[in-house]
Structures are given as structure tokens and as C-alpha cells.
Amino acid sequence: MVKEAESREGDQPISLDLLKDDTRLTLEQAATLAGYRSASTLRRAVREGRLQIERMSAHVMWTTAGALRDYLAGQGDRRGFARGRPRGTQRGQDAGGEAEE
């Protein structure tokens, strides 16, 4: 039997390390445990096939603590990757301020 993680206002936050692999979490709960501000990153991961879910209805998706751990382990250094030109550089300069060839 799969157990569902409960969260109530006023309770202490649940740590992902303390949950069993088969504990079910909503994407909002999973996002909170993973340190995301919203569940949109996890919904994108679901669309891209990187996070396993179980659909309860058209709008309700569950994942498990084990699937969330696997997803986070697969992220590695992807979180926080800066895109584009570093601040303070002009076109034709590299990150060190030297002219590009």
C-alpha cells in the first residue's frame, strides 16, 4: 500500500530524506521539498519525461519520493545555469573582458 505524505499548516516541514520511496506527493509538495518556488519546473520535467508521475485526474498529478530523488539526482549541475552573455561584457568580448578573435 502506498502512503500519502500529509502536510498541514503549522506542522514542521517534511524532509525528503525522511520519506520512504513509495510515499506519494503532489507536485506542489514535491516542489517545496526540492526547494523550488513553484511546481512549474516539475510540470515541465513531467512533459519532457524526466519525472515519473501518476495521474489521478486531468488536473491532479502525484509523484513518489523515490521518483523525486531520482529526478533531483539526474539534475546534477543543471540548476542555476546562467544563459547568455555574462553581465558587464560587451559584444565582441569574452567573459574576461578580452577581445574575441
Question: Where are the chain's structural domains?
Answer: 25-75
CA atoms within 13 A on the CB side of 58: 0
pLDDT, tens digit, 9 for 90 and up, residues 61-93: 899 999 999 998 888 655 554 555 555 555 665
pLDDT of residue 57: 85
* Digit-coded pLDDT (tens) for 26-42: 999 999 988 888 899 99
Would you state the pLDDT for residue 46? 93
- Relative to beta strand 54-55, strand 24-26 is unpaired
pLDDT at residue 24 is higher than 70: yes
Predicted TM-score of the model (pTM): 0.62
